[in-house]
């Protein structure tokens, strides 16, 4: 019979015990991580600012006028001037960088789900270049601001359009990592955001104009030259949603510089946008018309207005919006 010493038995058992404890630690760590991520997904939208973004709009009484879109919308409307010239105090602007029609349809779905949060009049950004781009989430603030039900839709949409391993890793980063700094520094972060927006617009921010040379060298930025089927479906969904929930909708393509709008690809997408809306009897306004698109001082880059351009455009469109809201309100009575 072989006699095993206590030291030998201890050495033999140690590896098994080590693997056991390592596995137990990994399991506990995974449970803690899943708990924290779930808590983050369910609650982080409550930390979103109430003067900007989707949560800002949902925090308002029922809006008479909602403007929704990407940074084009954010940098094209002076909300203080718009409020003063239209007399519409119940107004708000929702914008996220590179927000496309698919994103806007999701947000409007969320707002229309509750009657007292469904706006009466909605100005939808009709940025022609976005019509040719596949749906994509490029501003993490949109995901952070979204309530849990909308987060689920965003994740489903993201998976549908990003099936590569890299896309999965990007989504993991968005869900798990993004927004943690804002949560930890919430008191300072929320105070800074309160100073940065008025009714969702960056009204008090200054964006300088361009030099003549930089203006001449501008080029259009495009991800596609044909209408993307998902964007077309989102466009029709917005129109269906408006009809179902009895809100008025107006599509406005805000101004862009002459060197950009002269690009035949931009002109083709703009025409496609107009045809899609005309087929549904929707109203489209081309912001390039009656706007000095040849003036470098009115633009800050290839697709955004300067502060001077923002004032010019807001002043020019205010009368149209005032009459549109008044006519819609009258017909609803």
What's the pLDDT tens digit per position in 114-141? 878 899 999 999 999 999 999 988 888 8
**pLDDT mean over 249-264:** 97
pLDDT for position 3: 52
Q: CA-to-CA distance for 246 and 239, rounded, in angstroms?
A: 10
Average pLDDT over the chain reads 86
Arithmetic mean of pLDDT, 100-106: 96
Determine the Cα–Cα distance for residues 101 and 107; give it in Å rounded to an integer.
10
Could you tell me which residue, 144 or 242, shows the higher pLDDT? 242
Band of the pLDDT at 332, cuts 50, 70, 90?
Answer: very low
pLDDT one-digit tens code per residue, 32-88: 666 766 676 776 878 788 888 999 999 998 999 999 999 999 999 999 999 999 999
Least confident range of 24-28, 123-127, 234-238: 24-28
Average pLDDT over residues 138-159: 87
Alpha carbon 210 to chain centroid distance?
26
What's the whole-model pTM score?
A: 0.84
The tokens of 141 are what? Answer: 């603030």
Domain ranges of the chain: 49-142+189-332
- The H or E element containing residue 105 is helix 101-112
8 A C-beta contact, residue 135 and residue 234 = yes
Q: pLDDT band for 232, please (50, 70, 90 cuts).
A: very high
**Closest residue by Cα to residue 312 from 299, 303, 325:** 299
Whether the pLDDT of residue 95 is over 50: the answer is yes
- What CA–CA distance (Å, rounded) separates 34 from 180? 15
Q: What is the pLDDT of residues 311-322, one digit of tens each?
A: 999 999 999 999
pLDDT at 158: 77
CATH architecture of 49-142+189-332: 3-Layer(aba) Sandwich (3.40)
- When comparing pLDDT for 299 and 176, which is higher? 299
Residue 23 has what pLDDT? 72
User: Residue 333 has what pLDDT?
Assistant: 39
Rounded mean pLDDT of 288-301?
A: 97
Q: Higher model confidence: residue 285 or residue 189?
A: 285
What average pLDDT does the segment 204-212 reach? 92
| Residues of the chain above pLDDT 90, percent | 62
At residue 34, the pLDDT reads 67
Higher pLDDT, residue 50 or 259: 259
The rounded distance, in Å, linking the Cα atoms of 99 and 138 is 8
Long-range contacts of 308-315 (CB under 8 A, 24+ apart): 308/209, 309/76, 309/209, 309/255, 310/75, 310/76, 310/77, 310/78, 310/207, 311/78, 311/81, 313/76, 313/77, 313/254, 313/255, 313/287, 314/76, 314/77, 314/78, 314/81, 314/82, 314/85, 315/81, 315/85
Burial profile 44-72: b = 16 or more Cβ within 10 angstroms, e = fewer: bbebbbebbbbbbbbebeebbbbbbbbbb
């Amino acid at each position: 019979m072989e006699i095993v010493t206590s030291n030998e038995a201890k050495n033999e058992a140690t590896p098994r015990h080590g693997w056991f404890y390592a596995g137990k630690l990994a399991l506990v760590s995974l449970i803690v991580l899943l708990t924290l991520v779930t808590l983050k997904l369910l609650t982080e939208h409550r930390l979103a600012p109430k003067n900007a973004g989707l949560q800002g709009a949902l925090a308002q009484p029922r809006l008479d006028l909602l403007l929704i879109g990407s940074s084009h919308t954010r940098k094209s409307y002076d909300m203080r001037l718009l409020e003063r010239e239209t007399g519409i105090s119940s107004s708000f602007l929702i914008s996220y960088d590179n927000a496309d029609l698919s994103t806007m349809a999701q947000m409007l779905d969320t707002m229309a789900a509750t009657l007292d949060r469904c706006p009466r009049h909605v100005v939808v950004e009709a940025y022609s270049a976005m019509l040719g781009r596949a749906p994509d989430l490029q501003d993490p603030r949109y995901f952070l601001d979204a309530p849990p039900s909308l987060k689920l839709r965003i994740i489903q949409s993201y998976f549908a359009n990003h099936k590569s391993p890299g896309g999965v890793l990007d989504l993991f980063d968005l869900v798990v990592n993004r927004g943690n700094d804002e949560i930890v520094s919430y008191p300072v972060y929320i105070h800074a955001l309160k100073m940065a927006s008025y009714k969702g617009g960056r009204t008090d921010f200054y964006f300088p104009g361009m030099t003549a040379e930089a203006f001449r060298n501008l080029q259009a930025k495009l991800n596609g030259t044909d209408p993307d089927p998902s964007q077309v479906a989102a466009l029709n969904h917005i129109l269906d949603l408006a009809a179902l929930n009895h809100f008025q909708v107006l599509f406005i393509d805000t101004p862009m510089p002459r060197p950009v709008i002269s690009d035949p690809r931009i002109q083709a997408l703009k025409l496609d946008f107009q045809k899609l809306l005309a087929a549904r009897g929707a109203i489209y306004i081309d912001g390039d018309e009656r706007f000095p698109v040849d003036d470098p001082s009115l633009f800050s880059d290839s697709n955004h207005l300067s502060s001077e351009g923002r004032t010019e455009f807001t002043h020019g469109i205010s009368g149209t919006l005032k009459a549109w809201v008044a006519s819609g309100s009258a017909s609803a009575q």
